[in-house]
Structure 1
Amino acid sequence: MRLRATKSAHSVSYSVIKSAYINKKRTTVTVEKLGNEKEICKKHGVSDALAWAREYVANLNKNAEMNKPIEISFDPSIHLTQNDQRLFNGGYLFLQDIYCQLGFDKICKAIVRKHGFKYNLNSILSRLLYARILYPSSKLSSFALSSRFIEKPDFSLEDIYRSLSIINEESDYIQSTLYRNSLKISKRITGVIYYDCTNYFFELKQADGLKQYWAYKENRPLPIVQMGLFMDSDGIPLAFSVNPGNTNEQTTMVPLEKKLVEDFSLTRLVVCTDAGLSALFNRRYNSKGNRGFITTQSRMSCVF
């Protein structure tokens, strides 16, 4: 498309034209009449009608080029290469936007500067998170899934295993920084928070490290690992801790709550728990300062 200027005795009129083939003959057709100089200046609030008209036509051509159909040709005589990847997963890109908004990439850079390792922690952590949301599975399966992403992983399976100890070591830093970053994109309601514990079992014959034998809800004779989690009023996680499976869950709340006070700067809290976590020392701790507690209690033990 191009600009045509038509001069008259007292003004210049502008129009957008383009070449076209009609009945196998090339001709010029008018796409749009823009008006004369006075009309353009008045309608669009400009002083130079010619400059505006040129810019308008340039934008039309730019948009037309962007919306131009793309032709893809296929040759049936060419055979596909065996085991050549042609299908890619792009759904993780929506998660990638949230990942960056929460500042995970900057968190990883800070950890890398502190420890000085060479593998790409940001790439590893992001892929582990995407895989955990899209297709929860083992680290091996997560690594295989990441190879189907549009952006190929720049790390090895061994790098994933190496990074786990670093992620565990920096867990408190990651959680507290992530909370502060989340405040920039969402309002966190932390006046009333919730705490509970759960267990994960491992199909092992012998206890080891965090994996210890303890009473399990499903009565499985297997080692377990305990996890305690604080959530805000909207049910969004605040902080968590992982403890040996044989730890009394009542003793896990106060240490994690102290981290909320110290690292998260949360001083006004009402902690909600079930009866199993409402030990006397937990209630006493949350009866001081600006803290409070809400807990369930058996009707038989209520005092009226």
Structure 2
Amino acid sequence: MASLREKYQYDSYDEVIKHLQEYVEALREADQQAKAGMTLVFHPNHLIACEPRLFNIGYLYMKNIICFLGFKEIGDEMAKKHRIRYDITNIIIDVLCHQILKEEMVFYEAPQYKVQDAQKALRLLAQEKDLMIFKQRSQSA
């Protein structure tokens, strides 16, 4: 307290406390003013054009969850086992996301695989479904 009395140049303890209470009250008022409602004024000449906009963040969220569940490792293992040159992991992720989201897929970048590769991958997935089920069960246990 002595250093506060010297800093604020007050003689008594009560004056220092009073000064600090006033300071805290001023900070509270400033905080309340900062949190107060904001008024936005829109001019009719500055309207946003009515054009369809699509923000497919759900796809990225689902892709992250699917990778976390281990499907990336399953795809990598299948690619190694069958010596696949195309990216089976992305095909698996895209198929699962499409089935979960039930909407038309919008890719942020063009897929790096061809339609023929996707067809081959789906056939391979049908053959290797037991591996996928086993891997998922062993991870959850």
- Identity %, equivalent residues: 31
The CA distance in 2 between the partners of 1:158 and 1:89, in whole Å, is 26
The CA distance in 2 between the partners of 1:175 and 1:93, in whole Å, is 24
Task: Between the two structures, name the one with larger relative contact order (CA 8 Å, sep ≥ 6).
Answer: 2
- The match for 2:114 among 152, 156, 163 is 156
The alignment's C-alpha RMSD in Å is: 3.1
Q: Is 1:172 aligned to 2:130, yes or no?
A: yes
Shift of 1:110: 0.5
Which residue identity is paired with 2:94? R
The CA distance in 1 between the partners of 2:56 and 2:114, in whole Å, is 19
- Gap regions ≥5 residues in structure 2: 1-52
- The match for 1:111 among 58, 63, 78 is 78
Which residue identity is paired with 1:180? S
Instruction: List aligned pairs for 1:85-234, cutoff 5 A.
Output: 87-135=54-102, 145-146=104-105, 148-183=106-141
Give the greater-gyration-radius structure (CA): 1
The structure with the largest strand share of the pair is 1
Shift of 1:174: 0.7
Shift of 1:94: 2.0
- Gap regions ≥5 residues in structure 1: 1-85, 137-144, 184-304
Shift of 1:160: 1.3
Shift of 1:131: 0.5
Which residue identity is paired with 2:122? L
Shift of 1:88: 4.4
Q: Is the 1:90–1:149 Cα contact (8 Å) retained in structure 2?
A: no
Instruction: List aligned pairs for 1:12-31, cutoff 5 A.
Output: none
How many residues end up aligned between the 2 structures?
Answer: 98
> Do the aligned partners of residues 88 and 120 (structure 1) sit closer, same or farther apart at CA in structure 2, a change above 3 Å counting?
farther
The CA distance in 1 between the partners of 2:74 and 2:93, in whole Å, is 12
Shift of 1:98: 1.9
The structure with the largest helix share of the pair is 2
Q: Is the 1:120–1:155 Cα contact (8 Å) retained in structure 2?
A: yes
Deviations 1:102-141 (A, max 9, x none): 11001100100011121110100101001101117xxxxx
Q: TM-score, normalising length from structure 2?
A: 0.57
Q: TM-score, normalising length from structure 1?
A: 0.28
